[in-house]
Structure 1
Amino acid sequence: MTKKIKVKKEGKSRFKKFKNRLSFLIVLVFAAFVFYMGWIQIRIPEGVHALVYTKTGGYDNQLISPGQFVWRWENLFPGNMTLHFIELKNSREEYTMTGYLPSGELYGQYINRPEAFHYTFEVEYRFSIKDESFVSLIESGTYYSQLIEDRNQEYVAATNEIIQDFFKDQDSLNLEGISEAEKMLSLKISESDPRYQLNDLRIISYQYPDIELYEQTRAYFLEELAVLRQAELKTEQIQTELETVTSRKMDLLRQYGEVLSEFPVLLQYYGLDKEKIDPSLFQDFSQASESP
């Protein structure tokens, strides 16, 4: 009798353990299923971002990056959540700026060093559109791939203009070292457009003329130019005076000619005695007749 009772108790105990284990296994499988359904990261392909849209909450305010752990309970309800996969490229651009300092080519020829005042800057930078900016396009319903390309081109044009203005500024050229210039330029670009993120910037080529030599050459050139200008003005003044004297003599000869035409008898008078007329008059008259 006692043995039968023990067998029944052992059977109930084994069944209870089996039941507990089975329940735990069911709970574990259900928990794993719930975890898998809400695990978003595993559904994102390589090299793309994901934007979550749910019928209960609309679009998320940020993108999900590859490798970022995200678990969403909204995906537990069938048909409630949709993932939009978006490829956000980290764009790379290079900008090269070459030229001469003001009148630098002329000053270089003046000292027989044509390239002495020529400068070259080459900058490489990488950028991408911010997640929140991209999400705002999705929410507004204005997103399409060409729009992103157009905005990227506008950003590149504006950034290149900032780089150009930066290197034209004398204060920027006086910065100590390339690293300091990179920091200042990166700060200016980062503050220019809140929709974009500057990921990297490097000055890969930097060649700028000797400013002290440029200023000295410019001073010498302008000084010599002023001397030449004074000489030209003096020459023009002398030429003007000669033209004035010649014009006066021609007017005098013209007046003599009119008098002789009006009184021909004077020709006979002067022909009889040429000593009564100023000899220089005949000399001037002869030179005027021979001149074309």
Structure 2
Amino acid sequence: MKVKKFFANFIVLLIFSVVVFFIGWIQFYVRPGTCAIMKSKTGGLYHSAVVPGVFTWRWERLLPTNVSLEIFDLSVYKATQSVSGELPSASFYSSRFSDKKVDFSYNVEISVSMSLSPEGIYKLVSENKITSNEDLQGFYDAKAKLAASLVAEYLVSSSALIKPSALSQKEIQEIVEKKAFEFDGILISSVELLDAKIPDVELYNLAKANYASYLELLNSKMAQKAESQAEFFVEQDRTLAQLEKLGSMLQKFPQLEEMFKTGDAAQIINAVKSMR
């Protein structure tokens, strides 16, 4: 009887131990190709990502509703991303040409492949940059857009020296990798240029320089006109002052009025001299 009771207790204890083991065995919930970030109410963020193949057992899981596991996809992110825009004041400068086909806009399309390690994902979560797998995909999208922008910026700035078709896939990837610090630990496995429409930067700079010369000439003409008008107003002021002075003299010497009526200039001058 004691033996049966012992075995019964042993079986119950064994089942309980197995249940406790599976509840705390976090790795059991993480599928291959993914990783998990564990947060608990009692301990906060676990110190590392949980990955398949590495045994992880945590007692925090034994407390109901204490632990949350966020699963993240470790597969390589692949996407086609494009960026478009135009050079500063492109519409204005293009309107300076009679040929309406002049276009200073650009469009660049790339194919990009990138991924993050479990450690990289953990870092982003710890920095509150992402909280879910959906956030991770949005983060990838933003970085793919950044990669397209970097390629477009390089192609536009170097268009006079390098044609997009002359660049190899490796060279395109190196353009992006030079700004690796902006990608938060993302491993960029490939960047391929699919399409590129680049404006004629030399023509744009010529239009910009010509307009600057036009403005300089316009400012010079306006300054000359302002100077001429200023001289005119000064002369008007001088004439008005003379007329006011003459009016005062006519009031003081009424006899001059008759002389002005006759138009005898010599008589007027002699009369004025005799009044001094």
Which TM-score tier does this pair reach, normalised by the shorter chain? 0.5 to 0.7
CA displacement at 1:241 relative to structure 2 = 2.0
Counterpart contact for 2:113–2:190, Cα < 8 Å: yes
**1:183 matched residue in structure 2:** 173
Distance verdict in 2 for CA 1:249–1:165, change over 3 Å: farther
Match of 1:221 in 2: 211
TM-score for the superposition, normalised by structure 1: 0.54
- Structure 2 distance, partners of 1:131, 1:198, is 15
- Give me the whole-angstrom Cα distance separating, in 2, the residues matched to 1:247 and 1:264: 25
Is 2:82–2:109's contact at 8 Å kept on the other side of the alignment? yes
State how 1:12-161 maps to structure 2 within 5 Å: 48-49=33-34, 63-64=51-52, 86-88=72-74, 90-91=76-77, 92=79, 94-100=81-87, 102-113=88-99, 115-134=102-121, 146-147=131-132, 149-150=134-135, 153=138, 156-157=141-142, 160-161=145-146
Native 8 Å contact 1:105 1:117 kept in 2 = yes
1:289 is matched with: none
Contact 2:109 2:195 in 1 (8 A): yes
Q: By how many angstroms is 1:260 displaced?
A: 1.7
Alignment partners' CA distance in 1, 2:134 and 2:120:
14
Distance 2:182 2:136 in 1: 14
CA distance in 2, matches of 1:255, 1:137: 87
Larger radius of gyration: 1
How many Å separate the matches in 1 of 2:147 and 2:31?
Answer: 34
Does the 8 Å contact 1:49/1:85 carry over to 2?
A: yes
**CA RMSD across the alignment:** 4.6
Shift of 1:231: 2.7
Task: In structure 2, list runs of 5 or more residues that go unmatched.
Answer: 1-27, 39-45, 57-69, 269-276
Map of 1:205 onto structure 2: 195
- State the shift of 1:251 in Å: 1.5
What secondary structure does 1:116 align onto? coil
Letter in 2 for 1:105: S
- 2: distance between equivalents of 1:248 and 1:255? 11
Count of residues in correspondence between the two structures: 216
User: Which deviations, in whole Å up to 9, do the C-alpha atoms of 1:138-193 show, x marking residues without a partner?
Assistant: 9x8x9997355446645654664565355435655444545445222332354534
1:256 is displaced (CA, Å) by 0.9
Deviates more, 1:240-249 or 1:119-128: 119-128
Specify the code of the residue in structure 1 equivalent to 2:93.
Y
Equivalent residue in structure 1 for 2:263, among 268, 274, 278: 274
Q: How many Å apart are 1:125 and its aligned residue?
A: 2.7
Structure 2 counterpart of 1:210, which letter? D
Q: Distance in 1 between matches of 2:35 and 2:147?
A: 33
Q: Percent identity?
A: 16
- Alpha carbons 2:81, 2:144 under 8 Å: kept: no
Cα distance in 1 between the residues matched to 2:142 and 2:103:
29
- Give the Å deviation of 1:88: 3.4
Secondary structure of 2:182 counterpart: coil
- 1:274/1:156 CA distance change after superposition, 3 Å: same
Q: Distance in 1 between matches of 2:234 and 2:253?
A: 29
Q: CA shift at 1:205, angstroms? A: 2.9
> What letter matches 1:238 in structure 2?
S
Gaps of 5+ in 1: 1-42, 65-69, 76-83, 280-292
Supply the distance in 1 between the matched residues of 2:72 and 2:133 (Cα, whole angstroms): 12
The residue aligned with 2:245 is 255
Partner of 2:235: 245
Q: CA deviation at 1:99?
A: 1.4
Taking the aligned partners of 1:177 and 1:245, their CA distance within structure 2 comes to 65
**TM-score between the two structures when normalised by the length of structure 2:** 0.56
Task: Report the Cα distance in structure 1 between the residues aligned to 2:256 and 2:48, rounded to whole angstroms.
Answer: 117
Distance 2:228 2:73 in 1: 79
